Amino acid sequence: MRMAGKLDYLEMPATGGTLDSVKAFYSAAFSWSFADYGPTYSAFAEGLDGGFQADGQDAPAKPLPVIYSERLEETLSAVENAGGTVVKTIFSFPGGRRFHFVDPAGNEMAVWGE
């Protein structure tokens, strides 16, 4: 359900790789599906929450999309097998554990679990 004033969409660049390689990565690593809108745009509908990091040492330089996983180690393996590059191995934080990776287009993302 869409609500005024709430996050509704996350658009990320796919300029560091081909659109097909980015779609293949997210399909293989997280079972995402896509709807193509022309040759240069593909949409996904996979859920969204968010937050702000005020700690200068931990704050990302760019927005950091975060994906949830019930099996963090298996997801890390799936990311690597799909061609992602893990840039921060699994670590603990208040509320759970997570790791960071870079996708084929050069976007840094994180995966967290409880």
Do 114 and 96 meet the contact criterion of CB atoms below 8 Å apart?
yes
Q: How far apart are CA 29 and CA 107, in angstroms?
A: 15
pLDDT of residue 59: 76
Tell the burial category of 84 from Cβ atoms under 10 Å away from its Cβ (0-12, 13-18, 19+). buried
Q: What was the pLDDT predicted at 102?
A: 97
List the beta strands (DSSP E) in the chain.
Answer: 35-36, 42-43, 66-68, 85-93, 96-102, 108-113
Instruction: Output the pLDDT for position 33.
Output: 94
Print pLDDT tens along the chain (114 aa): 677 767 678 888 888 778 999 999 999 999 999 999 988 899 998 888 777 787 887 877 888 999 999 999 999 999 999 999 999 999 999 889 999 999 999 999 999 999
pLDDT at 7: 66
What CATH architecture applies to the domain 19-113? Answer: Roll (3.10)
Which two three-digit tokens encode residue 111? 């995966």
